[in-house]
Structure 1
Amino acid sequence: MYGDETRAKTVLYTALFAALTAVGGWISLPVFAVPFTLQSLFVILASCVMHKKAVYPVLLYVGAGLLGLPVFHNGLSGIGVLFGPTGGFLLGFIPAAFIAGVLFAKEKDIAAAVSAVLIYDAAAVLWFMLTASASFPAAFIACVLPYLAGDAVKAAAAVLAARRLRRMHD
């Protein structure tokens, strides 16, 4: 029975966090070339709750968007979004969720949240440089600089959530 409960919880959390990430994309403020969304918050929160299994909802989310479901920012979908300026964030969410999840499982909450931000931001900058033929400074200004404060708030929220959830389970 225990294995069935664990599988059911994994499926439930996978669906929940994939849906929350999609909703986070629909809450979008157009800022510069890349919109400000709450997708990354839910990726980090999934890592906090699901640990390394947080990669499941991220893969489901990205896969659903690639298959045409309107789950990306502003209800967009398709492979064109992946090859656009925000594609690096989407691709970066995958390793970010896994690595942050491993760190959250080890109760390294700050390192987990910061690593998630660094990973998806690095992927975004590299992808933007590739797809937009931009220099590193231009990509950094477009993909990271305007969002540093928001990323810090999202990371702090995830750390607080991790600590609260851990206290609830202890």
Structure 2
Amino acid sequence: MKPSELTMAALFAALTGIAAQFQIPIEIVPVSLQTLFVLCAGGILGRKGAISMIIYLFMGIVGMPVFAGGKGGIGVLMGPTGGYVIGFIFATYTAGFLIEKKKNMLLSMIIASFVIYIFGLPWLCLFVGSIKNAFLIGMLPFIIGDIAKAFGAYLITKEVR
């Protein structure tokens, strides 16, 4: 990576950590602005944007308070939202990959949002007892907001690119 790309990756890691602090705590999985920056990282940095989420994850694992609610440490990844956080890496990569392939940018952002669920729901299922409960608690209440954040990421990415 070029130094400028690494700087941008670090910036998106920091923005994701800051966005995690703006949350609405509902049920087990809080609503936050994290995914806006997850998607922007992929849209602006391409596949290399996944490095920003690896940096973000590392910052949280070592105890920096970058996860939702100002939490840090490996314990967060072992909790109900751990799968979603891991999914950030793959969502960023997916958004970047699809956009680099000249796919529809908004659709790419929406698809990448759903990649987070692919990782988050099975993990959440371990805590809520069934995939149905995981869907009802960890996906259904968030779909409209995630599509709105995908649209926001699309608008931001379109302006920056």
Amino acid in structure 1 at the alignment position of 2:90: P
Q: Could you tell me how far 1:33 is from its partner in structure 2?
A: 1.2
8 Å CA contact 1:103, 1:111 repeated in 2? no
Give the secondary structure class of the aligned counterpart of 1:31: coil
Match of 1:129 in 2: 125
* Offset at residue 133 of structure 1 (A): 5.0
Count of residue pairs brought into register by the alignment: 160
Quick check: 1:129–1:136 contact (8 Å CA) kept in 2? Answer: yes
Asked if 1:28 corresponds to 2:11, the answer is: no
Q: 2:65 aligns with which of 70, 73, 81?
A: 70
**Which residue pairs with 1:86 in the alignment?**
81
Give the drift of 1:96. Answer: 1.0
Instruction: Give the equivalent residue in structure 2 for 1:140.
Output: 135
Contact 1:28 1:74 in 2 (8 A): yes
TM-score (norm 1): 0.89
Question: Aligned with 2:20: secondary structure?
Answer: helix
User: Which structure has more RCO (C-alpha within 8 Å, separation ≥ 6)?
Assistant: 2
Distance 2:119 2:155 in 1: 25
Q: Which residue of 2 aligns with 1:113?
A: 109
SS at match of 1:161: helix
The answer to whether the 8 Å contact 1:18/1:57 transfers is yes
Question: Aligned partners of 2:160 and 2:14: how far apart in 1?
Answer: 20
RMSD: 1.3
**1:45 maps to which residue?**
40
Residue 121 of structure 1 deviates from its aligned partner by: 1.3
Aligned equivalents of 1:100 and 1:50: distance in 2? 10
Greater displacement, 97-106 / 36-45: 97-106
Bigger Cα Rg:
1
2:128·2:134 contact (CA, 8 Å) conserved in 1?
A: no
Consecutive unaligned residues of structure 2, counting only runs of 5 or more, are: none
Q: Distance in 2 between matches of 1:133 and 1:146?
A: 15
Q: Which amino acid aligns with 1:118?
A: F
Q: Secondary structure at the match of 2:2?
A: helix
Percent identity reads 36
Task: Name stretches of at least 5 consecutive residues in structure 1 with no aligned partner.
Answer: 1-5
How far does the alpha carbon of each residue in 1:88-121 deviate from its partner, in whole angstroms, 9 at most, with x for none? 1101111111111111122321232122111101
Provide TM-score, normalisation by structure 2.
0.94
